[in-house]
């Protein structure tokens, strides 16, 4: 008779593996892609003042010149066309705020101050509205979670949420005017209001549950001067309009509303918005983000200053905008067309909006 040994299930089975989250959050990191992205681009990772300064200054100059044309022209068609040119140029100038959050503070001496003086404060979007907030969106454990100030699972929401998301951007200039001309001065004498405004209305975030922490140290001093400048400008603009003419202000608000609308449309397609709140790997974050590389001809208009490479930006957050096109070319050539890297490349704005709209209509 042959004796048999009875083994317990614990002795025969492999250790249980933790279940991966659903969707892109369960994507393991593609280490070859991550390594290639860093190693292939080290020599182009320095911000070049000879590109940043002329680009920002020319964009701002064109934007304000076209805005003056929209205000002064009597022909409504020419005025409207001038307004569109102004919105596009100021949009490009404004999006340098994104670069300010990622480049080292000593990389471009004087650039932050000049940008705030020429663009941020006149448009009532000083860099305090983005600095210290946008970097949370890139945090490894925050992206796509409830703690991410710049993430909403739009693809998983109701179809009506998309047009509401886009249209609300039109009200941003009025909200900023109220914030700086009324709420910030009142907050000086009403501390609870000051705390509320800082927590809820001091960042370009889209997550309604985000609450901003109080500023500290050097950043708090920067916030003080930027809010002082923006509030003084907002109060002056309202006073001048009330004593002279409301026409320049109303046209300016219309132009800035168009600029805000462009940015909201870009934001709508910057990600796939498919994460359900789980922390994601870097590769998962990349695949939930979007590149619109050439030959998409209109991408530089609706996603300027390198933001057509938003997925690549999530791989290399500190890469200056002027190097992203070359970085994309190098990584594509190295990894090939069948790589993970290629999965975040899309042909244009319309297909991305269509994909997102279809996602909202799927049964859950």
Average pLDDT, the chain: 92
Q: What is the pLDDT of residues 20-64, one digit of tens each?
A: 566 777 889 999 999 999 999 999 999 999 999 999 999 999 999
Q: Residue 9 above 80 pLDDT?
A: no
271, β-bridge pairs: 289
Once rounded to an integer, what is the mean pLDDT over residues 77-106? 96
pLDDT for the residue 21: 61
Q: What is the pLDDT of residues 254-264, one digit of tens each?
A: 999 999 999 99
φ, ψ at 99 (rounded to 5°): -65, -35
> What is the distance between the alpha carbons of residues 256 and 254, in angstroms, rounded to a whole number?
5
309, β-bridge pairs: 291
Transcribe 261-299 into DSSP letters.
HHHHHHHHTTB-----S----HHHHHHTB-B--TT-TTH
Q: Residue 201 above 50 pLDDT?
A: yes
HSE value, Cβ hemisphere, 13 Å, CA-based, for 335: 24
- Contact present, 348 and 296 (Cβ < 8 Å): yes
Q: Residue 11 above 50 pLDDT?
A: no
For the whole model, what pTM was predicted? Answer: 0.92
pLDDT for the residue 363: 79
144, β-bridge pairs: none
Transcribe 292-341 into DSSP letters.
--TT-TTHHHHSTTTTTBHHHHHHSTTS-GGGHHHHHHHHHHHH-TTSGG
Tokens of 173: 């200039």
Q: Which residues contact 136 (CB under 8 A, 6 or more apart)?
A: 142, 147, 148, 149, 150
Q: Indicate the pLDDT class of residue 8, thresholds 50, 70 and 90.
A: very low
Q: Residue 13 above 60 pLDDT?
A: no
Q: Which residue has the higher pLDDT, 6 or 289?
A: 289
pLDDT for the residue 222: 96
């Amino acid at each position: 008779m042959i004796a048999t040994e009875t083994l317990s299930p614990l002795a025969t089975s492999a250790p249980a593996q933790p279940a991966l989250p659903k969707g892109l959050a369960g994507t393991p990191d593609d280490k070859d892609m991550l390594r290639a992205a860093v190693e292939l681009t080290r020599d182009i990772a320095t911000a070049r003042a000879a590109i940043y300064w002329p680009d920002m200054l020319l964009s701002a100059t064109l934007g304000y010149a076209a805005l003056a044309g929209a205000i002064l022209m009597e022909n409504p068609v020419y005025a409207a066309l001038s307004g569109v040119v102004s919105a596009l140029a100021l949009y490009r100038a404004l999006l340098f705020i994104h670069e300010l959050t990622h480049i080292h503070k000593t990389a471009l001496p004087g650039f932050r101050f000049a940008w705030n003086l020429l663009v941020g404060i006149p448009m009532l979007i000083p860099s305090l509205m983005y600095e210290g907030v946008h970097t949370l969106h890139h945090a490894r454990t925050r992206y796509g979670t409830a703690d991410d100030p710049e993430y909403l699972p739009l693809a998983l929401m109701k179809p009506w949420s998309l047009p509401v998301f886009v249209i609300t951007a039109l009200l941003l200039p009025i909200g900023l005017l109220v914030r700086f001309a009324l709420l910030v001065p009142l907050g000086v004498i009403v501390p609870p209001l000051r705390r509320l405004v800082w927590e809820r209305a001091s960042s370009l975030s889209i997550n309604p549950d985000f609450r901003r922490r109080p500023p500290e140290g050097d950043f708090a001093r920067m916030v003080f001067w930027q809010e002082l400048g923006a509030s003084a400008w907002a109060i002056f603009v309202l006073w001048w309009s009330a004593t002279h003419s409301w026409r320049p202000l109303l046209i300016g608000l219309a132009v800035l509303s168009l600029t805000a609308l462009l940015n909201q449309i870009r934001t709508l397609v910057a990600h796939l918005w498919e994460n359900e709140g789980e922390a994601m790997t870097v590769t998962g974050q990349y695949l939930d983000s979007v590149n619109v590389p050439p030959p998409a001809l209109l991408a530089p208009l609706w996603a300027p200053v390198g933001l057509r490479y938003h997925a690549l930006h999530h791989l290399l957050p500190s890469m200056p905008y002027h190097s992203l096109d070359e970085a994309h070319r190098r990584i594509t050539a190295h990894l090939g067309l069948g790589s993970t890297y290629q999965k975040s490349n899309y042909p244009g704005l319309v297909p991305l909006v269509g994909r997102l709209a279809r996602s909202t209509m799927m049964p859950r």
